Chain A
């Protein structure tokens, strides 16, 4: 039984003061969802700690009072990861934004979780280093959030996911104890790899307070190519041929025509050819002579697939322009409709063409506006459904189409999420991918870290009793009920 909300607010205000404890309705509204706007849950309060000890103090109070809590970084997550299922207190780590140590010789840095992803790379650029994971939201998303979700990005085809760049973690466990996983040298060989287990656990094992990350030396040279094709098949075929030729480019990204046109009509305009059915962005990095050789091979592949045109970024400005369109693609979708549902399925790369056709058929079936921008090298699709969240009937079709698309990915031998996480969005999709025994074992592991399930309760592992997405997303359920009532009234009046 939760104490009355005002009592929790009063307690937190008394302990943290108004600068660090937000309780007003206006303030809390800003925290009711992340980038997955279908599910909303206004928090009971928001705490803004500045160091590990303050996170520990907050957790100890909430643990004592048996109030659920969850961490939140910049709120850019696209799956509802930092949006609570139950009324909870949000512990926002955005004020924990100090880069604590940089050791260039050791190729590592120690940061607080609120450090913005791209800020770390900027901070170490003068040392010839960078932080490799680069989610599209890297200009605003935090490294703590990246750890929680095991974020990816365009360059993870070659350089791996966030987990491959995390050497150690300091975390506050759900009982308030501070734990150290891994080390400045990486996971310890003679211990269980709790760093790897914690990364991507979506905030259900505790809250990260310090992160030791691996820094990567900047490549000797970078070469970026953009090829336009008259069909999506030709773009995907080019990707397959590049990999089959033994090349591992730093990035292989495809945007379809709908995305190209949205980008070109937006502030992210990149000069993509608007008549193209798809563009393929290829980034190579490495020794200059190797890049020249690979560039020639790739141009031959493009020619073999009847590329309409090929542009090579000749300088940093041109490279930034080509990437601006890709990185701004999700933002550009705002021009199509007020809301955007970004899906995140994965298929084996060889299944891309067939899966994209099935996705197009699903969009047609549900009469939805769907565009694609995706990490082709990894087979990580991002079908984007543009819709109007005020239209409950359309929202219902969006959710149904999303479910069917992820089912299609599973049937192709893939995954329901490549980098966005399960969050509240894909809880029920977990049952498409995992069987009861798989979930039972995950539950046993969660119980070790989070036995009272106060820390981000209800996430990652779905309830296995009869439940549906609408039961988890109360506000959406209300909208759908209203739409059904209106439909019934319409039928009656007819």
Chain B
């Protein structure tokens, strides 16, 4: 795996016991945790030279309770392998996102593509974890409903491995849907596209992913319909939607190396305002929850961060040269103070980077 920041080799761990032994006797030098490493070039570089701690060998499924719609897996398990095991039982993890399961949750990406869909944070029921100092602990539960204790697993989602290391994830599952179709409608005029976009966002059933792309010949709408009948799919086909590949935002596509990828989120009602501030040549896509991605030059990226902030949203540069990755809109000062406090409380030695 290639990274563009300073590293001092890597250690691979296959079992939670080995991870515990390693951390308990660790000398306090900086570590960066990764699963398969597929998101390393989307994360801010470590602030100092780090040893990579790879968990891709921790890839077992420990428990799969089909009737209870739950399972427990190690963080290095790949999404591909989990999906295959679940499909055999007629189940699915109902969110998008690939790579390792630990990476999927730690990255906090992606948010759901439509308002009614599950986000990764709603699917993580509990977890076993270990602090950098070697203290093992657990949070949440294996059952689908639990409010005992603080939801520390929520702190793992989007933490980028900065607070503690996962050794087991307890997940909520759903039955595989009987019918699914990916549909698109292209060459739409912008106001018409947003009219349909808004209508579909308010359609509570069946639309499991929705996004809008600015393309060379206008606006295109992509969506995934699923359910137990084909009726919803048929009615959209009558409206001019045609079958296509799985809809994704720009990040799922090949990137122009001279441009930066910015990912952010604004209220859907502000997307048109945001779009109006970007030159027409700039690639832009937005999901049904207002998560957007844009490929832009560094100057334009900076301007987009400012505009997003002014519109009450948030954004971050995700793919760029190392020194620019992680630049983002400002955080609430109290939130920042508490975040620093949590880092100090859970990783006082500053080991996890």
Contact of B178 with A by CB under 8 A: yes
In this complex, which of B115, B149, B201 has the most chain A Cβ atoms within 10 angstroms of its Cβ? B149
Select which of A156, A246, A441, A442 is within 8 A of B178 by beta carbon. A246
Distance of B90 from chain A, by nearest CB (Å): 7
Q: Does B331 contact A (CB under 8 A)?
A: yes
Q: Is residue B276 contacting chain A, with contact meaning CB distance below 8 A?
A: no
Interface contact A422-B332, CB-CB below 8 Å: no
Contact of B203 with A185 in the complex, beta carbons under 8 Å: no
Q: Is A400 an interface residue (CB 8 A)?
A: no
Within 8 A of B (CB), among A180-220: 180-181, 183-194, 196-197, 199-201, 214, 216-220
User: Interface readout for B242-276 with A: 1 if CB under 8 Å, 0 if not?
Assistant: 00000000000000000000010111110000000
Among A156, A193, A248, A440, the one with the most B-chain Cβ atoms within 10 Å of its Cβ is A193
* Bound: A461/B137 CA distance, A: 14
Check A219–B267 contact: CB distance below 8 A. Answer: no
A289 touching B334, Cβ below 8 Å = no
Does A14 make an interface contact (CB < 8 A)?
no
Interface residues of A in 215-250 (CB under 8 A from B): 216-220, 240, 243-244, 246-248
CA distance A344 to B146 in the complex (A): 10
Q: Is the CB of A190 within 8 A of B316?
A: yes
- Interface mask (B127-165 → A, CB under 8 Å = 1, otherwise 0): 000010001111101111111111110110111000100
Chain A contact-residue range equals 35 or more
Stretch of A45-53, A159-167, A260-268, A309-317 lying at the B interface: A159-167
Task: Determine whether A457 belongs to the interface, using a CB cutoff of 8 Å to chain B.
Answer: no
Contact A444 B346 (CB under 8 A): yes
Expressed in whole angstroms, the Cα–Cα distance for A164 and B122 within the complex equals: 6
Q: Are A287 and B229 touching (Cβ within 8 A)? A: yes
Whether a CB of chain B sits under 8 angstroms from the CB of A282 is: no
Contact A189 B109 (CB under 8 A): yes
Which of B52-60, B67-75, B96-104, B211-219 forms contacts with chain A? B67-75
Query: Would you list which residues of chain A between 152 and 173 have a CB under 8 Å from chain B?
Result: 152, 156, 160-161, 163-164, 173
Assess whether B228 is in contact with A379, with CB atoms less than 8 Å apart. no
Interface centre among A287, A294, A378, A418 (most CB of B within 10 A): A287
Contact A193 B228 (CB under 8 A): no
Q: In the complex, how many angstroms separate the beta carbon of A145 from the nearest chain B beta carbon?
A: 13
A339: CB under 8 A from chain B? no
Pick from A217, A286, A426: contact of B148, CB below 8 A.
Answer: A426
* B binding-site residues for A, Cβ under 8 Å: 65-70, 90, 108-109, 111, 115-116, 118-119, 121-122, 131, 135-139, 141-152, 154-155, 157-159, 163, 174-176, 178, 198, 201-206, 227-229, 231-232, 263, 265-269, 289-291, 312-314, 316, 326, 328, 331-332, 334-335, 337-339, 341-342, 344-346
Could you list some 29 contacts between A and B, CB below 8 A? Answer: A105-B269, A106-B267, A163-B122, A181-B335, A186-B119, A189-B158, A193-B155, A197-B155, A214-B115, A218-B204, A219-B204, A246-B178, A286-B227, A290-B205, A346-B141, A346-B146, A347-B143, A348-B70, A348-B142, A350-B68, A379-B145, A415-B148, A416-B148, A417-B146, A419-B145, A430-B149, A441-B131, A441-B152, A445-B150
18 other A-B residue contacts (CB within 8 Å) besides A186-B119, A219-B205, A246-B228? A160-B122, A177-B334, A181-B332, A183-B312, A184-B312, A185-B267, A193-B108, A197-B152, A287-B232, A380-B145, A435-B138, A441-B131, A445-B152, A445-B342, A445-B346, A448-B338, A448-B341, A448-B344
